[in-house]
Amino acid sequence: MPLFNSQDILVIGAGVLGLCTAAELVRRGHDVTLVDPGGLNASAVAAGMIAPAMESAIDDLSADHAALLRRGRDAWVEFAEATDVAVVRDRAEWRGGNAEVLAARLAALGFAHDYDLETGRLTTGEDWKIEPGQALGALARGVRLVQGQATTLTRVGARWRIDTTAGAIEAVQVVLATGASVALDGLPDDAARLLDLIIPIRGQIGVVRERLTDHVVRGPGAYIAPMGQGSVIGATMEAGERSLRPDPERCAQMLAAAWAVLGQAPRPLQPEWRVGVRGATPDGLPMAGAVGDGLHLALGPRRNGWLLGPLVAGVVADEVEGRPSQEPALAPRRFI
């Protein structure tokens, strides 16, 4: 069968990690093709948080882990300017619950914040945000996209052959950014074992037309964030779940929690409930970098795909170019 295309670098997967990596490689002058089946992916079903402070406090992360998330946020400064992604730098707020505990964690980790003991409100200016739709569109500009499902990966001499539903493609370097999808047939054993470690995590969010808040507000059981002219309400974290059908009971619980966080009486809304399945590694950090001759991973960011996209892209691009990783904590081989 004739090859559909023949390129230097092929990226498989058009979520945030795949698109950021493709955009970074194109920015460095490489010939890149990206293959993806299309449709709504987990990166589109997201609020677009770039939130090292709140994520670190909520998950009680170590200082090293929190510092890595901070570097991920800072990587957006140059990357956003180069790719025309609009980054919103506004305050993020936590209301109620264990705000005093979270404030202490932010202080210990060195994140700037304000805590009002009387109202129980905790705010920080260290967390940013993007609009997933705008960002995905901006990142895709300039990237050669093939719409198709990758099925099989085969080593042919010094190149890789990837069979897709759109035809076969050959490339010198391949980047797997396939989210929580099952491993491609033909993967080398080490790479297949690493992909087997990826845990699927289902997330459900609701999109509403009403502008419920002008900044990100979090609290027990829910967050509310502005999105476009409306708002997004999220989000569940359901480990091991892959169903893309919204769960009415969980969605109702999340909506009730959102009203409680906002301190408002419930009123009629008609959320469009969306579901995405993310991938997570056993230690909560993504796998970014080489796993073999010309084969690289950009996988498993848990719920921090948007936060860590440019950082992961830089790590993978460096290794594609033969340079050592600047973030050894993300090396996929840490699990082997």
State the total domains in the chain: 2
Cis bond upstream, residue 235 (ω within 30): yes
How does pLDDT run across 114-132, given as a tens digit for each residue? 999 888 899 999 999 999 9
Helix 132-140 vs helix 16-27: crossing angle, to nearest 10: 40
CATH number, domain at 189?
Answer: 3.50.50.60
Q: Are residues 142 and 188 in the same domain?
A: yes
pLDDT at 285: 97
pLDDT at 1: 36
Range of the domain at 120: 89-127+199-280
- Is 83 a member of any domain? no
pLDDT at 7: 64
Q: Are residues 100 and 113 in the same domain?
A: yes
How does pLDDT run across 215-257, given as a tens digit for each residue? 999 999 999 999 999 999 999 999 999 999 999 999 999 999 9
- If residue 218 lies in a helix (H) or strand (E), which one and from where to where? strand 216-219
pLDDT at 3: 46
Q: CA 228 to CA 43: how far, in whole Å?
A: 16
Listed as ranges, residues in the chain with pLDDT below 50 are 1-4
pTM surpassing 0.75?
yes
Long-range contacts of 113-120 (CB under 8 A, 24+ apart): 113/53, 120/95, 120/96
pLDDT at 6: 53
Q: Are residues 117 and 216 in the same domain?
A: yes
CATH number, domain at 221?
Answer: 3.30.9.10
Q: Are residues 207 and 274 in the same domain?
A: yes
Q: CA 179 to CA 299: how far, in whole Å?
A: 6
pLDDT at 97: 82
Tokens at 211, concatenated: 């502008």
Judge whether 92 and 123 are in contact, CB under 8 Å.
Answer: yes
Question: Other CB atoms closer than 10 Å to residue 89's CB: what's the count?
Answer: 13
